[in-house]
Amino acid sequence: MLDTRTKAKLVEQIEAIVGPDHFTTDETDAVLNAHDAWPLSEAKIRAGETLPLADVIVYPSSTEEVSKILRVANDLRVPVVPVGGGAGTCGGTQPTYGGIQLDLKRMDKILAIDGESLLVRVQAGTVGIDLEEEVNRHGYTTGHTPTSLRASNVGGFIATRSGGSMSSLYGKIEDLTLGLEVVLADGSVVRCKAVPRHSVGPDLRQLFIGSEGTLCVITEATLRLFPLPPSRHFRSMCFPDVHSGLMAIRAIFREGIFPSVVRLYDAEDTALHVSTHFEVEEGNCMLMLAFDGRPEKVDIDESISARICIENGAKDYGEGPSKYWWEHRYDMYYPTKFATSGFSVGDTIDIVATYDRLENVYHEMKRVMEAHGAAVMSHFSHMYPNGGSIYMIFFVSQPDAESAWATYREIWDDGVAACLREGGTMSHQHGVGTTRSTYTEAELGSSFEVLKKIKEVLDPNGIMNPGKLGMGGHT
Amino acid sequence: MEDSEAIEQLRLCAGCPKMCRHMCPTFLAWRSDSPTPHGRALLMYQDAKGTRALDERAIEVLYQCLECSQCLTWCLPQVDIATMVENERMRLVNEGRYPRGLDKISSAIKTNHNPFAEPHGKRNKWFVPTKTQGKKILYFTGCTAAYHENGIARSTVSILSHLGYKVSVTPDEWCCGSPLFRTGFRNLGIEQARHNADTLNKSEGEQIVVTCPGCFRAFTKDYPQLGIELKKPVLHISQLLEKHLDALRAVDFGGPITYHDPCHLGRHSGIYDPPRKVIERVSGTKVVEMARSRENAMCCGNGAGMRTLFTDQASTIGDARVSQAREVGAKFLVTSCPFCKNMLASRAGKMLIVLDLPEMVLAAFDSTSKVKM
Ligand SMILES: Cc1cc2nc3c(=O)[nH]c(=O)nc-3n(C[C@H](O)[C@H](O)[C@H](O)COP(=O)(O)OP(=O)(O)OC[C@H]3O[C@@H](n4cnc5c(N)ncnc54)[C@H](O)[C@@H]3O)c2cc1C
Ligand code: SF4
Ligand code: SF4
């Protein structure tokens, strides 16, 4: 929390920038902004605990206002936590050291749709679903379909390097973002031009993509568009185990086929999410595939993929489970009585690894997480020619808050340690935030120093989202 | 709803990753995480659990809710925010902790029996009795049509006469109580309800027709819940017109027509098809549906005290609804609620022609083959 004098000065200057209606110091607003969708925050809220609060929440309407606000914050050495949709899962928007929460939701304009170059220029506060529906009306898709599409916004997607469920075909947000406008801690506005490729030194866009508010505030982006696919087919294949499913997935990519969806559910996840609607033999693992494109191409891709699966021991389930998942893909995120009762908490460790390590990472993580009495279920959720990600989902329930939160932390510690030991990377798409902050150095190894040095240059006063991405506290 | 059930629902919602927020009109209007379904639930949960009591701002956030129930359509565990907000408002009013801006409405209803502080004596000034001798029907006009949307009231009487009804209105009609029930002034609402029930039960009409979905919901849902009985059938005008489709005149409206589902008629009373059937009969064309329609229709922004307390944000919501109608190329935006019509017309300017259902039906009766507007 800020001292009274600094807060008074800050408020006066902020009011001069955004006017009286676009900031708040009310405790109620701070309480309502204190959490994102970090399951631990949600569990603590249910348990009646309180979370760290911001001193001021500001709602800028333009890049210019963002720049002025950062200049003031930098002068006064006040922490700034950017807020997108506030639906991140890692406590990234938590105002750990108080200060300003800079909420971008008013910057929600879709500035230009360019059908010639297949681009859309959009302000950072535009909610994903609003952008997708607007470009759909023009016959395009962004290809970015995370299940947080309805809650998260463009700035949040980019700040966390998020990935949609169709990233095997369309790519993650780092592949989809061509141009970027960001504001640095000193208020300077930096623009990275939208070009398909370039050869002018390192790609600075990629420095800002995934920086989680620790290096800059993202104010605008130019994203790629794709013509809406004329057809989408779903196909489901059931394997006797995870291994044979992964063999089939690798073989499909080797054929040069890029399905839009590739999700392989392990036996536990299949039992919980597939067997409830379809007859599946116990212990089997369901692979869900989708293919986007012209019908002729989709037919060929689908039939080759089906053949590969069957050669690897799969039973053909037709479109059923895959289509059902797509149509109900948001359902699993709604709270249920079971998952929210008592002192229960669950989370997902969304790791990523190359094929040579993926299975070991999976088995090891599962082993160490289950050792804490957690129910663990997983799916291989975003797959590529060289490897893919696993959603390691766990759930624990304890008799009291203290042991629930401690067990939660131990599962994370041991799960991430196992992932790193076996050569995986601790996040594919959710980011680091508060949850993974302390593991960042171990994850990045020698490159962590580079990140720290960049941070020191771009944000010498450490005002940008302190305590996240392994970059310490606010001084 | 039992207290324990309500707390269970609030508990679910307080930890929800905002799965319905994108559909909440007040999120759209404020672009902040405070006036949202999850935000409201969180405040009520913390209050109920003793974590943090509602302060003045929290109460304001609860009063920023339109009670439109759009969130319920998108909520898998069916957390009923609108009902819980309404119950909370009732408690706040009993404790005298409600936004003072509402006193304007409640005291106007108490003294003048309408929320606009218009003299009660002017309520039926618009009414010109017709000579039709048919089935007797009582038209409960509702405050908006009686004072601000006389065109709707007159159209209703004309159409009913065309259809052979002998229409009467009563000088003893008071506000149905809807604005009071929705904003937490339940006891005052009950006074209105009792008076209206006495009046209507004594009246001559064999059935009661209403044009206002707020009145319709009050009569068919609130009154029975309060144990107040209306001894005659109550029909919304769209239901009544649906029974007479063949007698309605069809003409060319000369442009696409879309329909806005009022929250009280649609989500709260389940009436979606009758108004559409009437529009299609009268225009000879299919209703061009907006992207958000029926169970998923967006509120017009006029609900539950919003326009009184937060005029600018109510207008932002009205503007968004008008834009949605324009997006589907509509020339006419028809609704079936004087309150919605009033809001939408005030935001549409010259971009669209906004009509209430009776106005549309009458325009067809009054035209030869093509409607001129
Ligand atoms: C139901 C649900 C489903 C999900 N599904 C997916 C999924 O399929 N794929 C996936 O990748 N993720 C998913 N997530 C996680 C999360 O929503 C995404 O990672 C998303 O990118 C976060 O965006 P947001 O706008 O909600 O960000 P916030 O939660 O608001 O912020 C996330 C981080 O980014 C920073 N930030 C936000 N905006 C800016 C900005 N403009 N400039 C600088 N920094 C900024 C914040 O400070 C914070 O550190 C899911 C989450 C939920 C709740
Ligand atoms: S109303 Fe339902 S969907 Fe909306 S936030 Fe609450 S629990 Fe989630
Ligand atoms: S009832 Fe309407 S205004 Fe109120 S929280 Fe739900 S969607 Fe929002």
Q: What's residue B302's pLDDT?
A: 87
DSSP string, B145-166: IIII-HHHHHHHHHHHHHTTEE
Residue A218 has pLDDT above 60, yes or no: yes
Residue numbers of the domain that contains B24? 4-98
- For residue B40, give the chain A residue with the closest CA: A32
Could you tell me if B226 and B266 lie in one domain?
Answer: no
Q: What mean pLDDT value characterizes chain B? A: 93
Separation of alpha carbons B324 and B260, rounded Å: 10
Q: What mean pLDDT value characterizes chain A? A: 96
Residue B142's nearest CA partner among B108, B190, B178, B107 is B178
Tokens (6 digits) for A174: 């780092």
Of A27, A33, A129, the CB nearest to B22: A129
Q: Which residues contact A42 (CB under 8 A, 6 or more apart)?
A: A35, B14, B15, B16, B17
> ipTM for the complex?
0.94
Could you tell me if B360 and B288 lie in one domain?
Answer: yes
Q: Is residue B23 part of a domain?
A: yes
**Do β-strands B135-140 and B207-210 pair in parallel, antiparallel, or remain unpaired?**
parallel
- For residue B58, give the chain A residue with the closest CA: A28
Inter-chain CB pairs, A–B, below 8 Å: 101
Could you tell me if B228 and B130 lie in one domain?
Answer: yes
Query: With contacts defined as CB-CB under 8 Å, which chain A residues touch B39?
Result: 32
User: Tokens 């109580």 label which residue?
Assistant: B177
What CATH number was assigned to the domain covering residues A110-227? 3.30.465.10
User: Which ligand sits nearest to residue B83's alpha carbon?
Assistant: 3
What is the band of B364 on the pLDDT scale with cuts at 50, 70, 90?
A: confident
Mutate to test the interface with A, among B31, B46, B51, B298 (most CBs of A within 10 A): B31
Residue B43 touches partner A, C-beta closer than 8 Å? yes
Q: What's residue A184's pLDDT?
A: 98
Average pLDDT over residues A25-46: 96
Could you tell me if B233 and B355 lie in one domain?
Answer: no
Tell me phi and psi for residue B59, to 5 degrees. -65, -40
Average pLDDT over residues A91-104: 97
Last residue of a domain, one of B76, B98, B120: B98
Residue A107's nearest CA partner among A221, A234, A269 is A221
Could you identify the atom of ligand 2 that is nearest to the CA of residue B81?
1
Residue A292 has pLDDT above 70, yes or no: yes
Q: What's residue A474's pLDDT?
A: 47
Q: Is residue B129 part of a domain?
A: yes
Could you identify the atom of ligand 3 that is nearest to the CA of residue B85?
4
**What residue's CA is closest to ligand 3, atom 6?**
B71
Q: Is residue B371 part of a domain?
A: no
Last residue of a domain, one of B242, B264, B299: B242
Average pLDDT over residues B65-93: 96
Is the Cβ–Cβ distance between A267 and A283 less than 8 Å? Answer: yes
Q: What's residue B304's pLDDT?
A: 65
Q: What's residue A475's pLDDT?
A: 39
**What residue's CA is closest to ligand 1, atom 7?**
A146
Average pLDDT over residues B102-115: 94
Topology classification of domain A231-327: Alpha-Beta Plaits (3.30.70)
Q: What is the pLDDT of residues B122-156, one digit of tens each?
A: 999 999 888 878 899 999 999 999 999 899 999 99
Residue B217 has pLDDT above 60, yes or no: yes
Q: Is residue B66 part of a domain?
A: yes
Domain ranges of chain A: 4-105, 110-227, 231-327, 336-433
Q: What's residue B1's pLDDT?
A: 64
**Reduced to 3 states, what is the DSSP secondary structure of residue A99?**
coil
User: Where residue B128 sits, what CATH number does that domain have?
Assistant: 3.40.50.1860
pTM of the model: 0.95
Separation of alpha carbons B304 and B214, rounded Å: 10
**Reduced to 3 states, what is the DSSP secondary structure of residue B32?**
coil
Q: Which residues contact A175 (CB under 8 A, 6 or more apart)?
A: A224
Could you tell me if B75 and B118 lie in one domain?
Answer: no
Q: What's residue B303's pLDDT?
A: 76
A221: closest CA of chain B, how far (Å): 20
Could you tell me if B189 and B268 lie in one domain?
Answer: no
Residue A343 touches partner B, C-beta closer than 8 Å? no
Q: What is the pLDDT of residues A334-371, one digit of tens each?
A: 999 888 888 999 999 999 999 999 999 999 999 999 99
A386: closest CA of chain B, how far (Å): 32
Q: Is residue B370 part of a domain?
A: no
Domain count, chain B: 3
Is the Cβ–Cβ distance between B260 and B321 less than 8 Å? Answer: yes
Distances (CA, A) of B91 to A21, A464, B63, B97, B185: 29, 43, 13, 9, 9
Average pLDDT over residues B239-246: 96
As its CATH architecture, domain A4-105 has 2-Layer Sandwich (3.30)
Of A118-122, B249-253, B287-291, where does mean pLDDT reach its minimum?
B249-253
Topology classification of domain A336-433: GMP Synthetase; Chain A, domain 3 (3.30.300)
